[in-house]
Structure 1
């Protein structure tokens, strides 16, 4: 059985289904970055474990050959080792993809922070209630 367990989604929810605020979007991008990092680390661990298990299957197949075990059983062990190597390779590919997602999410978080942090701080520092978004939009 796999050690990977599905996790519930723990992203902050949007208020009333409208557009998220600066802090909500910052929290969401930070959560996405952290989730991608956790996924990547779990996949690298899975890859290492599958490679180790495949090596052990190869060693067991060699021992079975030396002990003149029924060839069909040795072939099954060899097939299992090959399948474990395929899982290791696929998890490595997926880990590289998760690494790219983490990198892109961090870039999004940084760009959002750079673009809107000043506006957010200016609005909060004024002490004056601001108009709803879109009020100052010109036609």
Structure 2
């Protein structure tokens, strides 16, 4: 059985107005979650490959012991299925890696674009107009 354990969502609540800090927190959480998922999937891949190797060794021992061929065939089928799980988990880990990379890029772009504005607004101590107030047509 796998050591992966389902985890509850750790995203901040979706209530309230969008804000600089809320979006930054969500992007950081998404990046961390994608990293944890990727690491778990690579661990699953290694575990499934090890289990498949053990199934192959067991099948070889069964052949040497002249065990009924249908049982040896079932062990070989299990090893093949474990290898397919390992391949699929590697593909999913690569997708999680891409999500991690893209969410980190979005976080970095967001910080680069709006960090200065956020700090200037908070440093002024003056209540700012609602978004869109200064927009011109």
- TM-score class normalised by the smaller sequence: over 0.9
Asked if residue 79 in structure 1 is aligned to residue 77 in structure 2, the reply is yes
The one of 35, 38, 48 equivalent to 1:37 is: 35
Offset, 1:3: 2.4
CA distance in 2, matches of 1:87, 1:14: 35
Aligned residue for 1:134? 132
Offset, 1:128: 0.6
Aligned residue for 1:3? 3
Structure 2 unaligned blocks of 5 or more: none
Offset, 1:131: 1.1
- 1:5-46 C-alpha deviation (Å, 9 max, x unpaired): 221111112333x4x100000000000000000000000000
Offset, 1:132: 1.4
Offset, 1:100: 0.6
CA distance in 1, matches of 2:88, 2:49: 11
CA distance in 1, matches of 2:15, 2:89: 36
Aligned residue for 1:108? 106
TM-score normalised by the chain length of structure 1 = 0.95
TM-score normalised by the chain length of structure 2 = 0.96
Q: Number of matched residues?
A: 137
Considering only aligned residues, what root-mean-square deviation do their CA atoms show, in Å?
Answer: 1.0
